[in-house]
Amino acid sequence: MTTPALLPLSGRRIPTLSPGASSFPHHRATLRLSEKFILLLILSAFITLCFGAFFFLPDNSKHKRFDLGLEDVLIPHIDSPKEGKHASGQVVIHGQGAHDEHRHREEEESLRDKIRADHERALQEAKEKLRKSREDLQAEIQTEKNKVIEDLKKKDAGPKPLPPVPMPKVVGVNDGEPLEPDVKEKRDKIREMTKHAWDSYRQYGWGHNELKPLAKKGHSTNIFGNSQLGATIVDALDTLYIMGLHDEFKDGQEWVEQNLDFGVNAEVSVFEVNIRFIGGLLAAYYLSGQEVFKMKAVQLAEKLLPAFNTPTGIPWAMVNLKSGVGRNWGWASAGSSILAEFGTLHMEFVHLTYLTGNPAYYQKVMHIRKLLAKMDRPNGLYPNYLNPRTGRWGQHHTSVGGLGDSFYEYLLKAWLMSDKTDTEARKTYDDAIEAIERHLVRKSNGGLTFIGEWKNGHLERKMGHLACFAGGMFALGADGSPDDKAGHYLQLGAEIAHTCHESYDRTVLKLGPEAFKFDSGLEAVAVRQNEKYYILRPEVIETYWYMWRFTHDPKYRQWGWEAAQAIDKYCRVSGGFSGVKDVYSSNPTYDDVQQSFFLAETLKYLYLLFSSDDLMPLENWVFNTEAHPLPVLHLGNITLPGSEPAQR
Ligand code: DMJ
């Protein structure tokens, strides 16, 4: 519920009603005005008293002069029969004893009468004036109220309808049932796991962002701010649709229609909200054709736009959905924005411009691309931190895992999603990947290819679970790579998939740690206790799926099945699925969080891995970084508003 706010207006406080507010603010304002009126009356009486006292008090100096009757007093408005002129031309009265005294008393008396009358008249005028002002104030309040009622009416009428645009080709939304019975069995198991995750959330966490499967209640993190935006519902919609879980999908749709409201006072992550909510809603729209998802995506996108109001146009990491105020994470180097955050908006924003006809979305992301293109890059690498005020890099830290990852992914996918017409994006991707291969990709002593992290000129031989997505990215980008290096990139993808599988296989639970090292005789294992957890992440399974689609090597299905079984065995509890704190312990403890990306990504990639390739073909669909499929836009035939070449 929203609360009424009192805003200063012309030195007074006028109530601003918010949706759902009663007449309470008006009542409160009336009380304040009455109090103010009484105060003004007291004040005016006090001033009047002082004013009167000033005139009524005996004027000693005057008396002295009269009494003496000797000094000349300058009273120009009193005529005197004995007047004459000094040389200076001033009128002079001369004192004349008892007669004069009598006259002075009369004058004083008439002066007092005059002041009394003036005083009463002033008081009367003040009263009238105040009465009149109060009416004016009430009239103003009424005007304000009318305005608010009008605004509410406009809001109730809903947002303006969007222009009709042709629906991009929606291909391969079918059952995708595999021919082989054993594969079908595995796929059925994944669907069952999805149902368990969804039903548990439905029962214990409905409307909350995520679920605590052990405590059996709702959960949220700071990326969603202080909100109940139903992140799991929005993130899971397209998975439910693809798996044919139609009742569950309908349930989710109903919740979105009735409850999803972005007018909340919550400071959210622009990146997370974009990939999970806008991506999820757009995918649900394209798959189901239900307008409500498109409308909600656009409403949310409008709320994100203020985040771009920075000196450089590089958006803040967080924005308050209600106030539009943005800021960056406190932990980010020198107040910087994060490469993987401001660099992971392109796919969704291009679709938003396509669907709304509003060029702003496209222009915002193209502005980011142009700004980055102009910057110097140390060793050809993109640092993870960029200050949105100064436009300068922060710490020189480059990673294909956390903080950098999906920036590279979106360069490639911008090209694919444009039907390969966005060659600028492809070139930027190729150059970036070349520098990464040169500086970050290494082979361990045991022959495992890994992607390290670059920190101020030094390579840290550590790879994060997040970086495992890159195996799939290299495979996806193989076709179309320069100098006919398709084979090389497919091979690189396979090597990363192998390394990441090893990171799973070398644990007790057969689930991968958050980060693993290739140092001092260690190969693909976590060293620090705080890197041994698994939080239901998808990246390794994502890479298995892409590798499966491009090679059909059965080992990828085998590896995917190993992971699915381990998740079902070690992460499943009666209230859903939970992350585990130590994959090297045979007796792990739970973190008690069912992440929304478990339904959006992990389960979806597993399901696709055991489906036939004609379900969501990669020629027609591009999956955003949260695994939400968006259709290819044939930009060779379509001109996006805002993309026209500048007029000369
Ligand atoms: C997801 O939210 C997205 O894949 C994002 O790009 C980074 N990783 C998480 C899940 O691990």
pLDDT tens-place string over residues 250-307: 999 999 999 999 999 999 999 999 999 999 999 999 999 999 999 999 999 999 999 9
Residue 443: the pLDDT is: 98
**Atom number in ligand 1 closest to CA 409:** 6
d(CA 569, CA 507): 14
Residue 151: the pLDDT is: 64
> For 483-492, which contacts have Cβ atoms below 8 Å and span 24 or more sequence positions?
490/550, 490/551, 492/437, 492/441, 492/449
Q: Which of 210, 235, 422, 514 is catalytic?
A: 514
Q: Express each pLDDT in 594-624 by its tens digit.
A: 999 999 999 999 999 999 999 999 999 999 9
Collect all residues with Cβ–Cβ distance below 8 Å to 645 and sequence separation of at least 6: none
Q: Which residues are documented as binding site?
A: 625
d(CA 506, CA 512): 8
User: 186 pairs with which residues across the strands?
Assistant: none
Choosing from 341, 405, 406, 626 the residue with most ligand 1 atoms within 8 A of its CB, the one to mutate for a pocket test is 626
Residue nearest atom 6 of ligand 1, based on CA coordinates: 625
Q: Which of 539, 582, 592, 601 is catalytic?
A: 539
Please name the residue ranges forming H helices in 57-96: 60-68
DSSP summary character for residue 528: S
User: Counting beta carbons within 10 angstroms of the beta carbon of residue 89, is it exposed (0 to 12), middle (13 to 18) or buried (19 or more)?
Assistant: exposed
Ligand 1: centre distance to CA 105 (Å): 96
Residue 78: the pLDDT is: 30
Residues with CB under 6 A from ligand 1: 406, 466, 537-538, 597, 601, 625-626
Answer yes or no: are the C-beta atoms of 530 and 552 closer than 8 Å. Answer: no
Distances (CA, A) of 181 to 56, 178, 185, 611: 111, 8, 6, 11
Residue 6: the pLDDT is: 28
Answer yes or no: are the C-beta atoms of 479 and 429 closer than 8 Å. Answer: no
DSSP summary character for residue 466: G
Residue nearest atom 8 of ligand 1, based on CA coordinates: 466
Choosing from 466, 535, 541, 623 the residue with most ligand 1 atoms within 8 A of its CB, the one to mutate for a pocket test is 466
Residue nearest atom 10 of ligand 1, based on CA coordinates: 537
DSSP summary character for residue 400: S
DSSP summary character for residue 602: I
Residue nearest atom 11 of ligand 1, based on CA coordinates: 537
Collect all residues with Cβ–Cβ distance below 8 Å to 120 and sequence separation of at least 6: none
Q: Which amino acid is at 278?
A: I
Single pTM value for the model: 0.78
Ligand 1: centre distance to CA 625 (Å): 6
Structure tokens at 338: 């994060």
Spans of the chain, pLDDT less than 70? 1-100, 126, 128-137, 139-140, 148-159, 645-648
d(CA 615, CA 503): 30
Determine whether 272 is an active site residue.
yes
Task: Give the DSSP letter string of 419-437.
Answer: TT--HHHHHHHHHHHHHHH
User: 338 pairs with which residues across the strands?
Assistant: 385
Determine whether 626 is an active site residue.
no
Collect all residues with Cβ–Cβ distance below 8 Å to 139 and sequence separation of at least 6: none
Closest CA to 215 of 224, 229, 228, 203: 203
Residue 109: the pLDDT is: 80
Collect all residues with Cβ–Cβ distance below 8 Å to 338 and sequence separation of at least 6: 271, 317, 329, 332, 384, 385, 403
Ligand 1: centre distance to CA 302 (Å): 23
d(CA 353, CA 361): 6
d(CA 87, CA 632): 104
Ligand 1: centre distance to CA 405 (Å): 9
Q: Which residues are documented as binding site for Ca(2+)?
A: 625
Element spanning 149, H or E? helix 97-156
Residue 142: the pLDDT is: 72
Burial readout 568-583 (b: 16 or more C-beta within 10 A, e: otherwise): eebbbbebbbbbbbbb
Distances (CA, A) of 585 to 337, 511, 526, 529: 37, 11, 12, 11
Residue 106: the pLDDT is: 77
Residue 62: the pLDDT is: 38
Ligand 1: centre distance to CA 359 (Å): 28
d(CA 233, CA 227): 14
Query: What is the phi/psi pair of residue 573, to 5°?
Result: -130, 175
Q: Categorise residue 520: left if φ over 0, alpha if ψ from -120 to 50, beta otherwise.
A: left
Element spanning 474, H or E? helix 469-478
Helices 486-505, 539-551: inter-axial angle, 10-degree rounding: 140
Element spanning 382, H or E? none
d(CA 545, CA 557): 8
d(CA 213, CA 221): 15
Helix, coil or strand: residue 573: strand
Choosing from 210, 344, 594, 625 the residue with most ligand 1 atoms within 8 A of its CB, the one to mutate for a pocket test is 625
Helix, coil or strand: residue 385: strand
Residue nearest atom 3 of ligand 1, based on CA coordinates: 626
Answer yes or no: are the C-beta atoms of 477 and 484 closer than 8 Å. Answer: no
Collect all residues with Cβ–Cβ distance below 8 Å to 518 and sequence separation of at least 6: 442, 444, 448, 450, 452, 461, 462, 463, 524
d(CA 160, CA 484): 49
Collect all residues with Cβ–Cβ distance below 8 Å to 528 and sequence separation of at least 6: 515
DSSP summary character for residue 33: H
The three-point CA angle 47-53-55 to 5° equals 110
Q: Which of 235, 348, 405, 626 is catalytic?
A: 405
Ligand 1: centre distance to CA 403 (Å): 11
